Amino acid sequence: MAELLALLDPSRIRLDGRAADRTEAVRQAGELLVAAGAVTPDYVASMLEREDSVSTYMGEGVAIPHGTNSGKQAVLADALTVVRYPAGVDWGNGTAHVVIGIAAVGEGHLPVLAALADVLVDPERAARLRAATSVDDVLELLTADVED
């Protein structure tokens, strides 16, 4: 669990995001990864490139922007960022209220993605994630089903 909580460090969770469009939202998620020391700025460009080629919108108000395979060279450490957009961001194929930025060298982020998948298949839990008002709420929702 400590590894998982390191990926989801509370300093990388924002609950009051504002973005004019998905490009700005992806950039914000990437800049949090840069600020965390998890990626170089080149990774943000890789995230935008991925988004231009295929939408990272997953449904239930959640998008998971991440870089291209070639962008992995800009990843220094596995890390996640979470930005909640109360007003939502038009993602083209849906409205994202939660944007989870992903940087991964290895596979340390997979337990979080599995927990996120569990949230997304449960409309009630997905609604709780979209409406989360505290960092602890986000951490609880994304780590509830993860074993040590």
**Which tokens go with 94?**
């849906």
Total count of residues recorded for the chain: 148
Please count the other Cβ atoms lying within 10 Å of the Cβ belonging to residue 144: 11
Q: 97 catalytic, yes or no?
A: no
Active-site pick, 14, 27, 50, 66: 66
Q: Which positions are annotated as active-site residues?
A: 66
